[in-house]
Amino acid sequence: MDRVWNRGEQDRQARLARARAAGLGRIVDAARIGELLRAVLVSGDRLCIEGNNQKHADFLAESLAQADPAHLHDLHVVQSNLALPCHLDVFERGIAKRLDFCYSGDQGLRMARLVKEGRIEIGAIHTYLELYSRYFVDLTPRVAFVAAQSADREGNLYTGPNTEDTPAVVEGTAFKSGIVIAQVNELVERVPRVDVPADWVSFVVKAPRPHYIEPIFTRDPANITEIQVLMAMMVVKGIYAPYEVARLNHGIGFDTAAIELILPTYAESLGLKGKICRYMTVNPCPTLIPAIESGWVEGIHCAGSELGMEAYTAARPDVFFNGPDGSMRSNRVFCQLAGHYADLFIGSTLQVDPEGNSSTATASRIAGFGGAPNFGCESRGRRHVSRPWLKAGLEAARPAGGTMPRGRKLVVQMVETFREKMQPTFVEKLDAWKLMDEFGLDLPPVMVYGDDVTHFVTEEGIAHLHRCATVAEREQAVRGIAGYTPVGLARDHAAVERLRERGIVQRPADLGIDPRLATRDLLAARSIKDLVRWSGGLYDPPRRFRNW
């Protein structure tokens, strides 16, 4: 009996034939998108809607949400970010049923309701790398919707600086006999560069309006507080300097923006130029401009781009990864990998428990964590040696009886002890536990586990958690920098003093930091306009960030 080995390809050809029979060619008119979706989508299909951190195939997603659920239903959506109402309309209307995703941000509340109503069956909440990987294992899309800047008549795609997840989505689909539909902002004679070759693309639609994109990495320096400046000083003097951290990954909050903005001032005064922060895996955050311009940061690989930074990144090809056409190309998979194997990750969080576990999960929302868990974890498969990795590894407490030396990644969490409205950041029990009960999850949704963290930084001090030999010691180190929160007030004062004598808890004074320097004057740029000035006019901030 002859076995058929190309069922996928036969199925693909049948779908393409249905589109041809409907009179649809490779370039499809936006007005006929409904016909295209009817021709190539089948109930029960696994569908990837490109929903990245920033760029979204929003026209295709909206068109899908208008499909007739009597004809098209039970889709299994595999999508990294659900950011737009139409992404959930697809479930509310009964077109899709099952969902594997990474992050839902602002849609988290509605997502939670739809899960409770049984309209969404969650396969799993992944991190980015886990979901992209599964595209190449058992969550391979039959059909993928992607977004690009432009296409030529052949179907070659130019993604522009916001390449993001497109390569992973397209490769997983096109190389497993799937159908790739691209929405583009413009059809051109010749694309500036080929980011996706035409023979991987089945259909191209020029969308009625440019794809949705969100400037989520722009932090206005005007909103950076003196406490953030103080904490940034502590990070530079207490962590970056002694470990000589040259290759690192920054989060995207105001805390890390403050670090970026004191490199040309405070870090310069400490003589650290050329020793720290030379290579970064991070988006082109506008607050990096002064550090780039003054020669601190030599190389940056980006997961995505940032609105307004296009001309600036294009003009700095020695720093960014730009194509032969001159414009930047981002790639979330490579950036996530580079960040995972960097020497240090630093980011913020919303809640921390006494074991040092932290989470941004809050009550009644299903939001996920995107990429933070892969950045904010020990990279246990790492073997190459660097000074910071070796230092952290050698000073880390070893399990009792263990003899084998190894290195360790620096994972730093930077938080103020209280958030807005006097909400304590430090809590005895994470809300994640409540969320687990409420939604019947197998585990509490923890973003960064305490045993992966090497350092916690608050305005009260630095806790060197990796040097704590026991969970009890780690708990006192966390309480020791938790300030006047209930968790902090419940500390064992004598135990914390002993940790301080061993340098496991360090106060700003122990680091020789003059609190009088912790003012906004230390920021190399104090406004968006300052950033524009530093960039020589190349940075073109979105209107919402302009007050001139």
Partner 1 sequence: MEHLVFEFGPFPDRPRPAASVIVGVVGSGNLEALCEPAPLGGRLRVEVNSSVHGFGKTWEAVLGDFANRVRTPDLLVTINDAGATPAVVGLRLAQAAAELGVA
Q: Which residues of the shown chain bind partner 1 in the complex (CB under 8 A)?
A: 225-227, 230, 416-418, 422, 458-460, 483-484, 489, 508-509, 514-516, 518
Neighbours of 249 (CB within 10 A): 28
CB of 226 to partner 1, least distance (A): 6
Nearer to partner 1, 151 or 231 (CB): 231
Nearer to partner 1, 89 or 492 (CB): 492
Of 133, 147, 162, the residue nearest 201 (C-alpha): 147
CB of 419 to partner 1, least distance (A): 9
Of 452, 495, 451, the residue nearest 471 (C-alpha): 451
Nearer to partner 1, 116 or 493 (CB): 493
**Positive or negative torsion for Cα 173, 177, 181, 184:** positive
Nearer to partner 1, 201 or 230 (CB): 230
Cα–Cα dist 85/82, whole Å: 8
Cα–Cα dist 528/227, whole Å: 20
Nearer to partner 1, 321 or 418 (CB): 418
Residue 310: strand, helix, or coil: helix
CB of 104 to partner 1, least distance (A): 30
- Cβ atoms 203, 26 nearer than 8 A: yes
Of 244, 233, 247, 241, the residue nearest 281 (C-alpha): 247
First-last CA distance in the chain: 75
Burial of 105 (0-12, 13-18, 19+ CB in 10 A): middle
CB of 154 to partner 1, least distance (A): 57
Burial of 206 (0-12, 13-18, 19+ CB in 10 A): middle
The CA distances from residue 68 to 46, 398, 480, in Å, are 17, 60, 58
Nearer to partner 1, 226 or 451 (CB): 226
Q: Catalogue the E-assigned strands of 302-364.
A: 344-347, 351-352, 358-359
CB of 225 to partner 1, least distance (A): 8
Burial of 138 (0-12, 13-18, 19+ CB in 10 A): exposed
CB of 460 to partner 1, least distance (A): 7
Nearer to partner 1, 442 or 514 (CB): 514
CB of 508 to partner 1, least distance (A): 7
Nearer to partner 1, 171 or 460 (CB): 460
CB of 443 to partner 1, least distance (A): 32
